[in-house]
Amino acid sequence: MSTRTSHDQALTPAADADVVVTDDAGPLDTTTLSDFVGRHVGPRQDDVASMLQTLGYDSLEALVDAAVPPAIRSTEPLSIEASPSEHAVIAELRQLASRNQVLTSMIGLGYYGTQTPPVVKRNILENPAWYTAYTPYQPEISQGRLEALLNYQTMVSDLTGLAIANASLLDEGTAAAEAMAVMRRTSKVAQDAVLVVDKDLLPQTLDVVTTRATPLGIDVVAADLEQVGDADALRSLAGDRDVFGVLVQYPGADGQIRDWQALAEAAHEVGALVTAAADLLALTLLAPPGEWGADVAVGTTQRFGVPMGYGGPHAGYLSVRRGLERTLPGRLVGVSKDDDGNTAYRLALQTREQHIRREKATSNITTAQVLLAVMAGMYAVWHGPDGLRRIALETHAKARALAEALTSGGLELGVDRYFDTLTVKTPGKAAEVLAAALDTGINLWQVDEDTVLLSADEVTTLADLRAVADAFGVPAPESIATVEAPEWGRLTRTPEQTYLTHPVFNTYKSETAMLRYIRSLSDKDFALDRGMIPLGSCTMKLNSTTEMEPVTWPEFSALHPFAPLDQTEGSRELVRQLSEWLEEITGYDKVSMQPNAGSQGEFAGLLAIRKYHLANGDDQRTICLIPSSAHGTNAASAVMAGLKVVVVKSTSEGEVDLEDLRAKVDKHRAEVAALMVTYPSTHGVYEDTITELCEMVHEAGGQVYLDGANLNAMMGIAKPGEFGADVSHLNLHKTFTIPHGGGGPGVGPIGVRSHLAPYLPNHPLITDAGPDTGVGAISAAPYGSASILPISWAYIRLVGGAGLTRSSQVAVLNANYIARRLHEHYPVLYTGADDLVAHECILDLRGLTKETGVTVDDVAKRLIDYGFHAPTMSFPVAGTLMVEPTESEDKAELDRFIEAMVAIRAEMDEAAEDGVEGSVLRGAPHTAVSLAGDWGHRYDRMTAAYPQGVDPTRKYWPPVRRIDGVYGDRNLVTTCPPPQTGQG
Ligand SMILES: Cc1ncc(COP(=O)(O)O)c(C=O)c1O
C-alpha cells in the first residue's frame, strides 16, 4: 500500500520528485499524469485500490486486461502530451484565440451580429445548472428546461403563424432538409416527384438539402420561382414532373422580400407542400408564412441572442401547420398534468423521438440544440414583443439608411423590398469595395465580380454604415432615420397578426425579475451540478470550468463562419490540432469536424461508404447490416443514406449473433455496403468477436462503420481504426466533455481510414473545410459547431494521452464496481470475459417486475426521492435500467447510488407483499407540497421524502409528481398554457 494518504495524493504528482509512489492500483507515473487528471477523475487512489479489491484485481491495468479482448488492445500509449496546468491551457487557448481577428461581419447569409443579454449569458450559457442537464426524458426533474423550451416553441409558432413548433433542430440547413422529408412523407404525389427550390435559397441550405436528397433519389430543381403564378408554370419548371415540395427563402438570400402566396396556391394545387425558410427577426414585421400558405417554416434562431460562434451551435427551428404534427421530426414539448392534477410538461408524442422508427425512420435527429433554444427563447422573454419589434425596426432602418446613401450615390440595388440585406451592383468593382470595407474592419460578401451582398443587424452602428458607404465611394449617411413601420404592402405584418402575447413574454422586464425567473426554472431541474446522472449510453462526465471558459471569448464566439480565412487562423488551427488528437486516439487517418451531432456523423460516415462503393463501380452495394441491439439512430441514418437495413440477431448473451451475421453476409455477399456496429456494444460489453466480425464483412467487400458513441470505454485501450473499422463518429458531447445542455448542443465528428478520406463532408462556400470529392455539406457551417470545440481541445490537452487512458480505465472500474455491488440485488443482464462489463451495465428488472409488480418507471421515479437522476430506462432492452457512472463520479457518490438502489430493492419486496398500488414506489416522486396536505398513504411522510441515506440539508425537491403522458398526447398542447392560479 501507498504510505501517502492525502486526498490529492491520488493522481497528482508527488511534491518531491524523488519520491516514487506505488500502491495497489499500480505505480503512479508522476511524469505522465497531469495535475488535472486528479480533478477530472472522481475516485481517489485509495478508493481505486479498494474498488479494485472488491473486484479482485490488483491494478487498473489488470482489470482492463481482463475485460478487453487482447486482439484489439493498443500496443503503444497515446502520444498526446498533457499541459502542466489549467492556467497553461488557458494561456495556450488565448494564444490560439489571438490568431483570430474579430472584425465586424456584415456578411449575413444566415449569421448575424446579436447582443446576448448579459443576464442570459451569465445565468444560462455560463451556468452549469443549465448546461450540464440532460435531455428531459425524465420530465419530473426537467420542468425548468421544459418550460423554457415551451417558451421557445411558442415564440417560433407565433412568429411563423404555424401551430406547432418543435424544440429545436441542428441548424437552418438541416432543418430545411428535415422539412423536405416532412413534405415528401405528407405529399401523396408520385415517388419520382421533385423538390423545387427558389434560386435565392441560402447557398449552404441548398447544399445540405441536396446532400440529403441525393441518396434518396430525389431531384432538386433550383429555379426562379418569383414568376410562378399557377400550377402549370410550376409543373413546367419541374420539367413536367410531379412536385412534392417547394422551398423558398423569406426574405431571399439576396435580401428581396417576395410574395409567395400565388406560388403556395400553385403548389397546393399540384399536391405539393410549401416550406418557407424564414428569418425570425424579419417575421416580427412580415406577414407570417402560415398566413400566406406555407405548410412548414424553418430557419435559425441564432440572431435571437446566440453568438455567431464561427458557425455554431445555434438552434434551427421547424414549425408546421396543424395536421402535420405526427410527421414532425425532433422533440416536441407538450403540456400535460401530474398525479395531483397540476400542470406539468413533458416530451409529447412518445417519450423518445417519434420519427426514429428504425428502418421506417424519416429522420435520425436526437441531440438537438436545447441550450441555444433556451437562450433564444429567453431573448424573446427578455425583450418581449415590443422589444423584438423595436430591434427589427432599427435593423431595417439601418439597412434603409445605407440603401438611401448607396442609391443617392448613383449605385443600383438588386432589391427594392428588403428587411436587412442589400444586394448592391458595382460593375467590376466588387473586390475593390470588399477590400476598402475590410480596411475599416468590416467584412462584406462578394457574390461575383459585379455584386456585393451585405446585411445590417442588431449591433450595426452608424459608424459601420458610414464606413460601408465610404467603401462604396458614396456620401455617408448622416443619421439613421427612425422607421415606424415597414412599407411592404400586404406582406407587412398586421396588428391583428399578434405574437408573444403570453404573460411570460411580457412580465420579466427588470433584470432582477429576469434573473429570478431564470433561477426559478433551473431550481426545478436536476443537472450534474446536483448529483450523478448515471445515464447509460450518455457519458455524463465532468464538464470542467476551465474547459468551458473559452466558449464565450469573442475570438471564438464572434466569428462569422464565412469570414475570410486569414481572420480565422486560430480556430482552424484548433480544429487541425483537435483532429490530429482524435486521429491519434481512434487510429483513423482523417477527421471531419463538420457533423454537429452523432446522428449527423452517422449519416456522413455512411454517405462516405456509399460514395466509395460507387467510385469502385459497386452501385449494387446498398445493404447495411445492423445488429438488433443498435441505437435507433443507426438504422435511421442508413435509411437516410439510401441503404437498405438488414437486421442481425443478438445471441441470448447479448452479442452479435455471428452465425446469423455469417448467413446474412453470405446471402447478400455482393450487396453488402456496410456493417454498422457499436463498440463496446450498446449492451455495455467488449465483445471478443469484433475482429472476426470486421474480417467477415471486409472479406465480402463491405465496410465497417463502428458507432463510436461509447469511446469513453476505449481511450488508450483500443483504436477502432486499427482493429478493423473503416469509419466512426465520435460524440464529443459524451467522451470529450462538451456538456449536454439539456439535449444539445453536440458535436459528432467522423474519423475515417484513408480510402474514405476523399468522401468526407465539404462546404460550398469554404473550400478549405473538406475535399472537392466529398459528399457535400452535412451541416450549414463549414466546421459545424465550431465555438464549442475549445471544450474538447482543452480536455484532451489538460489530461493528455495518459489522462485519457486513465479516464477510460476508471470509467470501466466505476461501472464494474456498481455492477458487482448491485448484482445480488438486481441481475446484471450482460457481461463479457471474467464476468466484467465495459463502461456501463444493464440492470435487469424484468424478473423483479414479474415478481413484485414494480416497473422500471417506478424505480426511476423513486430514485428522484432519493436525490438521483434515473439511469437510462428500457434501452437497449425494455424493462431494464442501463447505468453509466463515468470516471468523474467519486466513490462516495457511487456508494450513495448503490445504497439507494439496495434500499429501493427492499421497497420492492414490501410492495410485493402489500401491493404495488399504494406503495411508496408507485407514489413517487413526492413533492414538498404533497407532504403538506392530507396524507392518505400507507407509508409515512418521512419515508416518502427522506428515505434512507438522503441528507436533509441537500434534499432535491421535484416540482411535480408523476406525469400522465397519455393525457398530454390526447390533448396535445405545445405552446405556453394560460397561467395557473396556484397549484394544488
Ligand atoms: C450508441 C449511440 N449512437 C448514436 C447516438 C446518436 O448521437 P446524437 O444524439 O449525438 O445524435 C447515440 C446517442 O445517444 C448513441 O448512444
How do the domains of the chain map onto residue ranges? 125-382, 587-784
The atom number, within ligand 1, closest to the CA of 597 reads 10
**Ligand 1: does its nearest atom lie under 6 Å from the Cβ of 537?**
yes
Q: Whose CA is nearest to atom 16 of ligand 1?
A: 537
**Ligand 1: does its nearest atom lie under 6 Å from the Cβ of 313?**
no
**Terminal CA-CA length for the chain:** 58
Cβ proximity of 391 and 281 under 8 Å? yes
Cβ proximity of 713 and 681 under 8 Å? no
Give the CA count within 13 Å in the CB-facing half-sphere of 415.
Answer: 29
Cell of 134: 440532460
Query: What pLDDT does 231 receive?
Result: 98
Q: How far is the CA of 631 from the centre of ligand 1 (A)?
A: 7
C-alpha span between 344 and 959 (Å, rounded): 9
Mutate to test the pocket of ligand 1, among 594, 633, 681, 730 (most ligand atoms within 8 A of CB): 633
List the one residue out of 375, 372, 373, 348 whose CA is nearest residue 139: 348
Residue 890: CB partners within 8 Å, gap ≥ 6? Answer: 42, 43, 44, 47
Mutate to test the pocket of ligand 1, among 355, 537, 685 (most ligand atoms within 8 A of CB): 537
Q: Whose CA is nearest to atom 9 of ligand 1?
A: 367
DSSP state of 320: E
Question: Given its phi and psi angles, is residue 196 left (phi above 0), alpha (psi -120 to 50 degrees) or beta?
Answer: beta
DSSP state of 500: -
List the one residue out of 49, 110, 435 whose CA is nearest residue 303: 110
Mutate to test the pocket of ligand 1, among 169, 370, 599, 603 (most ligand atoms within 8 A of CB): 599
Whole-model pTM: value is 0.96
Q: How far is the CA of 535 from the centre of ligand 1 (A)?
A: 12
**Ligand 1: does its nearest atom lie under 6 Å from the Cβ of 539?**
no
Q: Whose CA is nearest to atom 15 of ligand 1?
A: 709
C-alpha span between 720 and 583 (Å, rounded): 10
Cβ proximity of 24 and 74 under 8 Å? no
Q: How far is the CA of 246 from the centre of ligand 1 (A)?
A: 31
**Ligand 1: does its nearest atom lie under 6 Å from the Cβ of 746?**
yes
Q: How far is the CA of 136 from the centre of ligand 1 (A)?
A: 15
Query: What pLDDT does 567 receive?
Result: 98
Mutate to test the pocket of ligand 1, among 367, 593, 842 (most ligand atoms within 8 A of CB): 367
Identity (one letter) of the amino acid at 963?
I
Q: How far is the CA of 364 from the centre of ligand 1 (A)?
A: 10
Max CA distance (Å), the chain: 89
**Ligand 1: does its nearest atom lie under 6 Å from the Cβ of 682?**
yes
**Ligand 1: does its nearest atom lie under 6 Å from the Cβ of 631?**
yes
**Ligand 1: does its nearest atom lie under 6 Å from the Cβ of 629?**
no
**Ligand 1: does its nearest atom lie under 6 Å from the Cβ of 598?**
yes
Q: How far is the CA of 654 from the centre of ligand 1 (A)?
A: 19
Mutate to test the pocket of ligand 1, among 356, 600, 631 (most ligand atoms within 8 A of CB): 631
**Ligand 1: does its nearest atom lie under 6 Å from the Cβ of 369?**
no
C-alpha span between 29 and 442 (Å, rounded): 51
List the one residue out of 453, 566, 571 whose CA is nearest residue 106: 453
Q: Whose CA is nearest to atom 7 of ligand 1?
A: 598
Q: One fold for both 125-382 and 587-784?
A: yes
**Ligand 1: does its nearest atom lie under 6 Å from the Cβ of 366?**
yes
**Ligand 1: does its nearest atom lie under 6 Å from the Cβ of 678?**
yes
Q: How far is the CA of 881 from the centre of ligand 1 (A)?
A: 17
The atom number, within ligand 1, closest to the CA of 678 reads 1
Mutate to test the pocket of ligand 1, among 366, 596, 872 (most ligand atoms within 8 A of CB): 366
Q: Which residues of the chain have pLDDT under 70?
A: 1-32, 350-358, 980-984
**Ligand 1: does its nearest atom lie under 6 Å from the Cβ of 363?**
no
Q: How far is the CA of 626 from the centre of ligand 1 (A)?
A: 15
C-alpha span between 939 and 948 (Å, rounded): 14
Residue 605: CB partners within 8 Å, gap ≥ 6? Answer: 705, 727, 728, 729, 750, 752
Backbone angles phi, psi at 538, to 5 degrees: -120, -20
The atom number, within ligand 1, closest to the CA of 630 reads 1
Cβ proximity of 169 and 330 under 8 Å? yes
**Ligand 1: does its nearest atom lie under 6 Å from the Cβ of 709?**
yes
Backbone angles phi, psi at 48, to 5 degrees: -55, -45
Q: What is the architecture, at CATH level 2, of domain 125-382?
A: 3-Layer(aba) Sandwich (3.40)
Query: What pLDDT does 654 receive?
Result: 85
Q: How far is the CA of 744 from the centre of ligand 1 (A)?
A: 11
Length of the chain, in residues: 984
Q: How far is the CA of 573 from the centre of ligand 1 (A)?
A: 27
Identity (one letter) of the amino acid at 603?
F
CATH entry, 587-784, from 3.40.50.620, 3.40.50.20, 3.50.50.60, 3.40.640.10: 3.40.640.10
Q: How far is the CA of 536 from the centre of ligand 1 (A)?
A: 11
**Ligand 1: does its nearest atom lie under 6 Å from the Cβ of 707?**
yes
C-alpha span between 292 and 596 (Å, rounded): 33
Query: What pLDDT does 13 receive?
Result: 31
Q: How far is the CA of 608 from the centre of ligand 1 (A)?
A: 19
**Ligand 1: does its nearest atom lie under 6 Å from the Cβ of 683?**
no
**Ligand 1: does its nearest atom lie under 6 Å from the Cβ of 174?**
no
**Ligand 1: does its nearest atom lie under 6 Å from the Cβ of 597?**
yes
**Ligand 1: does its nearest atom lie under 6 Å from the Cβ of 743?**
no
Q: How far is the CA of 977 from the centre of ligand 1 (A)?
A: 32
β-bridge mates for residue 650, sequence order: 656
Cβ proximity of 869 and 138 under 8 Å? yes
Q: Whose CA is nearest to atom 8 of ligand 1?
A: 598
The atom number, within ligand 1, closest to the CA of 364 reads 11
